[in-house]
Amino acid sequence: MEPAKAGHRIALDCMGGDMGPSEAVAAAALALKEGLVGPDDRITLVGNEEVLRLLAREHKFRPGGRVDIHHAPGIVLPDDTPMGVLKGKKDASMVVALELLREGKVDAVVSTGNTKVLVGAGTIRLRTMEGAERPALAAIMPRRQGHFVLLDVGANPEATPEHLVHNAIMGRVYAQSALGIAEPRVGLLTVGTEEGKGGARINRTHAALKAVGDRIRYVGPVEGFDVFGDVCDVVVTDGFTGNIIIKTLEGLVFMVRDMVGPKVRYNPVYLAGGIAMFPLLRELKGHLKPERYGGAPLLGLNGIVMKAHGSSNRHGIASAIRLGREALEAGAGRRMREELAAANAVMATLPPA
Amino acid sequence: MEPAKAGHRIALDCMGGDMGPSEAVAAAALALKEGLVGPDDRITLVGNEEVLRLLAREHKFRPGGRVDIHHAPGIVLPDDTPMGVLKGKKDASMVVALELLREGKVDAVVSTGNTKVLVGAGTIRLRTMEGAERPALAAIMPRRQGHFVLLDVGANPEATPEHLVHNAIMGRVYAQSALGIAEPRVGLLTVGTEEGKGGARINRTHAALKAVGDRIRYVGPVEGFDVFGDVCDVVVTDGFTGNIIIKTLEGLVFMVRDMVGPKVRYNPVYLAGGIAMFPLLRELKGHLKPERYGGAPLLGLNGIVMKAHGSSNRHGIASAIRLGREALEAGAGRRMREELAAANAVMATLPPA
């Protein structure tokens, strides 16, 4: 049991999103109003104090209430690099938010900013948690019934078998808090489900996952076709493959939208169904977009870091706040460290590659 | 210039498809009727002679005409392995067809059979062409305007930078014959388009592709999101990533179909548009399915081998026959060997990893 706390403290990087700080502050208001955070939780808005003070007044946040402001005048831009930001932009809202987390002044960070900088700067400043070597970005994806966790979707493109086992463990703990599945099933993404396919790295990962399988409910290798079915709840892959998957799927969804749009307008056969079709497409898009759950956590660091899509509106950002809060409430960090330690102990007994 | 020939000879493995030999023989008839092969080309049906003779009679193929029969009583099954088939099923139609190609009795093989066995047995029996170390399966994929070639979609999951450069060269020659693009643009699939992202293997491949870039119109790294746009005509990746991409995309398309179907039936709002929507979905499915072009060549072997999807109907199989015939007509094999030799000469001058 974790000791009872006075509530969770969440820092919201308000300056990184495409829609600007007003949408971030509106998301904080929404999270409070809709009870996405608990009555004892606090949200710290990080960014330009003058701007945030005006926005806070609009939303009638009381001074000394559940929302406070932490000044950070700098902004991380799309072309910035992690090292460039850590050296030259120490006052950027993202860096300051990460620093608050490192110093233990908050328990989680939510950011809509530059993914590459968040992964790089977050890893350098917070360091990986005991038992993990690399962080992993975990996306929640739709399937026929419900959702599944896909990780890594871009933090660590060159994952070793050990990293992949760590991804399995962290993804499973995250699926418990984010999807509410008590015993999520874990699958290893590969190109053929018979043993011996997919190459040496996959074989070694498969052997290690089997060895720790009792603790993680490992169901074995899964193929690309399986992920949308009901085969497993956590799909483990490296950050190269995972990133290409989510971008290719998103590309397909946008292509279909572009293909259907003009057809509905110009083809009289389709025009008849146009009115009925558009709400359906909107619904499909909502169902298919990886951002539906509003945030992808950067797992494996000392502290909870949630990445929300750069184009997120207040609902997307509020959803990332909720996911971060749920991970804190579930003690996800502590549970990941325990499970990583147990898995590493098992892996240490395996024969070397 | 290649010497003028008496026509191309194509062996059709008739026993491997889900729809059986009758569909394969019907595909041969269709290819002849629709002029997908030239007037001097010949098709050899490979499979159970008794069955094929009955089917040939149905289609009124004349003895001594453009279609002949080669007896092969064995059948490759879904669970077979390449080594198992080469040792224990030498009389299988797929193996016999590959043997005809190896002996120079035909110029190309078209098969709907087990992909894993076709890749493995094809590679062992035919060997890779001079200049290539591994084969690659090339799929034709839809994009907003037209199509692009994606390779490798599953033959070689552990591709080295050299293999990826070879894929670029072979994919480009194939795009010329299959898509009719005179100077196809080549992109390298990765997770970020700035140099230095994607890991050591991608960086080394990028450097090698730049070095041979003049010969292959290399446009640089591309992301998963770009492939459906008009960025390049050949997308190069390893057989692990490529296989997962096509299976994930296919999984998404089937999921959308399953999601839309019941909605159209049960939701009165969508029901209104149901009649108009179904033809659209059919069209989208035809546009999105990788099998639209009916065949994926196994590039890099001594001889043209076309894999058609196991579920192909006569149109899909006939389309694979056409693609194989076009590759022969374009002298694709010879052109690949020339371009591979030139690229290997450039790569030999690069500093070692």
Q: Across residues A320-325, what is the average pLDDT?
A: 94
> Which of A244, A264, A285, A287 to probe by mutation at the B interface, max B CB count within 10 Å?
A244
Distance from CA of B242 to the nearest CA of A (A): 9
User: Are residues A284 and B259, on separate chains, in Cβ contact within 8 Å?
Assistant: yes
Among candidates A157, A271, A288 on the partner chain, residue whose Cβ is nearest the Cβ of B199: A157
Q: Please, which residues bridge with residue B9 across strands?
A: B42
For residues A86-109, average pLDDT: 97
Q: How far is A280 from chain B (nearest CA, A)?
A: 7
Segment B146-198, tens digit of pLDDT: 889 999 999 999 999 999 999 999 999 999 999 999 999 999 999 976 666 78
The distance of B284 to chain A (nearest Cα, Å) reads 8
Q: What is the pTM of this model?
A: 0.89
ipTM, 2 dp: 0.86
The DSSP-derived string for B20-42 is HHHHHHHHHHHHHHTTSS-TT-E
Distance CA A102, CA A80 (A): 22
Q: Is A157 on the interface with B (CB under 8 A)?
A: yes
Q: Which of B227, B240, B272 sits opposite A199 (nearest CB)?
A: B240
- Mean pLDDT taken over chain B: 88
Question: Hey, is the C-beta of B83 within 8 angstroms of any chain A C-beta?
Answer: no
pLDDT for residue B251: 83
The residue in chain A having the minimum alpha-carbon distance to the alpha carbon of residue B274 is A273
Of A162-166, A198-202, B4-8, give the range with the top mean pLDDT. Answer: A162-166
Q: Mean of the pLDDT values across residues A131-160?
A: 92
Vertex B117, ends B113 and B122: CA angle to 5°? 100
Interface of B with A in 219-278 (CB under 8 A): 223-229, 237, 239-241, 243-256, 258-260, 263, 269-277
Helix (H, G, I), strand (E, B) or coil at A107: coil
Asked if B288 is an interface residue toward chain A (Cβ–Cβ < 8 A), one would say: yes
What pairs with residue A128 in β-bridges?
Answer: A301
Q: What angle do CA A53, A54, A60 make, to 5 degrees?
A: 85
pLDDT at B297 over 90: yes
Cβ distance of A273 and B275 shorter than 8 Å: yes
* C-alpha distances out from residue A122 to A110, A135, A137, B340, Å: 12, 9, 12, 44
Q: Is B191 on the interface with A (CB under 8 A)?
A: yes
Chain A residues touching B189 at Cβ < 8 A: 244
Instruction: Find the CB nearest A240 among B198, B227, B252.
Output: B198
Question: What mean pLDDT value characterizes chain A?
Answer: 88
User: pLDDT of B267-276, one tens digit each?
Assistant: 544 444 444 4
Domains and CATH numbers, chain A: 1-130+300-330 (3.40.718.10), 133-292 (3.40.718.10)
Q: Cis omega before residue B233 (within 30°)?
A: no
B232 interaction partners in chain A (CB closer than 8 Å): none
Segment 202-221 of chain B within 8 Å of chain A by CB: 202
What pLDDT is attached to residue A138? Answer: 95
Which residues have C-beta within 8 Å of that of residue A39, sequence separation ≥ 6? Answer: A7
Least confident of A26-30, A214-218, B99-103, B111-115: A214-218
Give B277 to chain A, closest Cα distance, Å.
Answer: 6
pLDDT tens digit sequence for A200-234: 899 999 999 999 988 899 999 999 989 998 999 99
